[in-house]
Structure 1
């Protein structure tokens, strides 16, 4: 098992909630920056799959996502996280740290470190399977002058 620093092992406060939506669920996340709101949205998705308190940080993977605008960047970011969970071995994450967040220019880009462990039935309570990310009613509130950064994303369950 790799060694992690105390900073890497420390989990951020929860800044997300689940909103009811017909046959699906809407993730609502927020933060002190757009980066934090993105990280929280990813954690909210993993939190819907299992109780995050049961997830230890035993490994770290890195994902990358690109988009042509903030909505497509968010979609592809969450889709890459879902793909990370869907591959063998299934990685469930309790912490995400975005290390690159480029939103200027024609192609936006994210790099993210994903901390967690292999999903194990018995250790990790089964939540709800996330089938896909959707663009439906996606909303990004990016108001730096009001220190207001919020994301709303419907996931298909």
Structure 2
């Protein structure tokens, strides 16, 4: 992957950011935005077309603000990879707003298999640097930076 030039894909583009990887995300709905974030996360890490939907992981998260929830969501995906070598292929997200924001998600995928999966990028952390989640007349937009 050539990180020198932004790549536009289904709902995201790479940001030119020194020593880190940044994503600008866009979607029609908030739930779709969180799904796009997960897809981008996995697509930068590995060729997602080679990941099979063999098992499911459930995720339940809560945060005071949407941007905090996005960081928690992506951090949970990183945690699943670091602790279980789990790679996602399909993602479904449901969000609820109340006193806090709640996310319930299902990730379909499988464990890393070096015979079939070539890792392209490893994340160290999801950062709060330049983080934003916004809505405008065209839908939802977000920006997130990863420490790599």
Common fold: TM-score over 0.5: yes
Pick the aligned partner of 1:56 from 35, 52, 57.
52
Give, in whole Å, the separation in 1 of the partners of 2:61 and 2:70: 9
Do the aligned partners of 1:55 and 1:93 also contact (CA within 8 Å) in 2? Answer: yes
Pick the aligned partner of 1:38 from 24, 34, 37.
34
Give, in whole Å, the separation in 2 of the partners of 1:38 and 1:58: 22
| Aligned residue in 2 for 1:150 | 141
| Aligned residue in 2 for 1:68 | 64
Deviation at 1:80? 0.9
Pick the aligned partner of 2:97 from 103, 108, 124.
103
Structure 2's unaligned 5+ residue stretches are: 1-8
Deviation at 1:114? 0.3
Q: How many residues align?
A: 140
1:133 aligns with 2:126: yes
TM-score, normalised by the number of residues in structure 2: 0.89
Give, in whole Å, the separation in 2 of the partners of 1:71 and 1:39: 14
Structure 1's unaligned 5+ residue stretches are: 1-12
SS of 2:121's equivalent in the other structure is coil
